[in-house]
Amino acid sequence: MANVTVIGAQWGDEGKGKVVDWLASRADLVVRFQGGHNAGHTLVVGNQTYKLSLLPSGLVRGKMGIIGNGVVIDPEALLAEIDRVISQGLKVSPETLRIAENAILILPLHGAIDRAREAARGDAKIGTTGRGIGPAYEDKVARRAIRVCDLAEPETLSFKLDELLLHHNTLLKGLGAPTFEKQALFDQLLAYAPRILPFVEPVWERLDEARRSGKRVLFEGAQAVMLDVDHGTYPFVTSSNTVAANASIGSGMAPSALGFVLGIAKAYCTRVGSGPFPSELHDDIGRLLGERGREFGTVTGRPRRCGWFDAAMVRQAIKVGGIQGIVMTKIDVLDGLPELKVCVGYRINGQEYNYLPAAMRAQAAAEPIYETIAGWSASTKGARSYAELPAEAVKYIRRVEELIEAPVTLLSTGPERDDTIMMRDPFEG
């Protein structure tokens, strides 16, 4: 049995949480490997809805969850999330959750910098969540970050705070924002230590043992390929690598351990925040997709921008993201539409492209080239097999497969766990 890596194939919010939850029933460990509490996964289990931002979705299935070194962790947000899901009946303890000792911490000053920069950008703002994820990653590569393991060493914590405050308070003053005092931050971090340190270990060692003993590992990505800091619609991206390759770096496992790579894509397309969106709809259909799909950000609550499925973009994400099969979600949202459109390429300043170029102005100028496909009147909601789908829905899926040059291996037909059709078992490789 192979391991499985799940990543987003659009701009995030594709339904990765439900897919990971569904797959986790047959995994032994579920690993988060990048991002922070700027991404959210919503899981509907019976009459209970779980909203997770940092905790691996496998915890809902009672599986061991691991927060890898590639994740940036806001300790206050983590502890609040743990308390919330425990109150909903989940078991979260050092027996069910482990945190990489070398993961980076997000401090209040990171959020302050994030929000002050966005305010200073004015109309050119990127659309960040303002939660400090980007500045925390900056500190990581600048080699001044505070890591989880530093909570066990007050002396280390003290001199690292000196360096951090020298840098960040200077920036905050320049942006006209309030600065931070060392003692308050120091005391706050030491107060977190007794609750967080029991979860901490070198998770790479546990993962290596899992590999040697033949346990199945499910890697859970956040955001999506088109928000990747290298391969996405830069600068309107997240601050980490979201492609499958980063599951290795962000967890401490070898690239050979990543297994089958599943990309998640909605049957239409959405985006939260600023940035190019060639197939975006500003009409009644766009509003209908948003209403039917309940398109609001799990973390921010912001309404998502909605549009037609962008096959050119997903094909690009498949190639750079290492995706071997697609999970198409929310096909039921398209029920009843007489005709559908799929973006098959772009027209930019009179020239046609079958991919989205890297240049910022070119991306902003991209106009969609559409192919029209017949819709269907019957419902797909809750279908558990292809035989239950309208013929036109099957034709839509088959045409999408041709355009993205990859198979649809799983189909989600509703929010419930078992509203899923499997054409190929990803754990079989």
DSSP string, 6-51: EEESSSS-SSHHHHHHHHHTT-SEEEE-SB-TT--EEEEETTEEEE
Instruction: Give the helix ranges, DSSP H, for 231-371.
Output: 246-249, 284-292, 311-321, 360-365
Confidence band, pLDDT 50/70/90 cuts, at residue 375: very high
Helices (H) and strands (E) in the chain, counts: 12, 20
CATH H-level, domain 104-196: superfamily:
Adenylosuccinate Synthetase, subunit A, domain 2 (1.10.300.10)
Which pLDDT value is given to residue 297? 67
**Burial tier of 301 (Cβ tally within 10 Å: 0-12, 13-18, 19+):** exposed
pLDDT over 60 (residue 1): no
Q: What share of the chain is helix, strand, coil (3-state, %, to 5)?
A: 40, 20, 40
Catalytic residue among 21, 37, 41, 231: 41
Min mean pLDDT across 13-17, 235-239, 242-246, 370-374 is at: 13-17
DSSP structure class, residue 367: E
**Any catalytic annotation for residue 37?**
no
Listed in order, strand segments (DSSP E) in 194-250 are 200-201, 217-220
Closest CA relative to residue 381, chosen from 315, 332, 344: 332
**What's at 358, amino acid-wise?**
A
DSSP structure class, residue 274: S
C-alpha–C-alpha distance, residues 64 and 70, integer Å: 18
Tens digits of residue pLDDT in 28-52:
999 999 999 876 677 777 777 888 8
Per cent of the chain over pLDDT 90 is 79
Catalytic residue among 13, 21, 74, 419: 13
**Any catalytic annotation for residue 13?**
yes
Listed in order, strand segments (DSSP E) in 272-361 are 305-307, 309-310, 325-329, 339-348, 351-353
| Domains 4-103+200-260 and 266-428 alike in fold | no
Confidence band, pLDDT 50/70/90 cuts, at residue 404: very high
C-alpha–C-alpha distance, residues 144 and 330, integer Å: 42
Which pLDDT value is given to residue 299? 61
CATH 3.40.440.10 holds for 4-103+200-260: yes
Closest CA relative to residue 73, chosen from 126, 125, 151: 151
Domain ranges, ordered by start, for the chain: 4-103+200-260, 104-196, 266-428
Tell me the whole-structure pTM to 2 decimals: 0.93
Tens digits of residue pLDDT in 182-192:
999 999 999 99
CATH 1.10.357.140 holds for 266-428: no
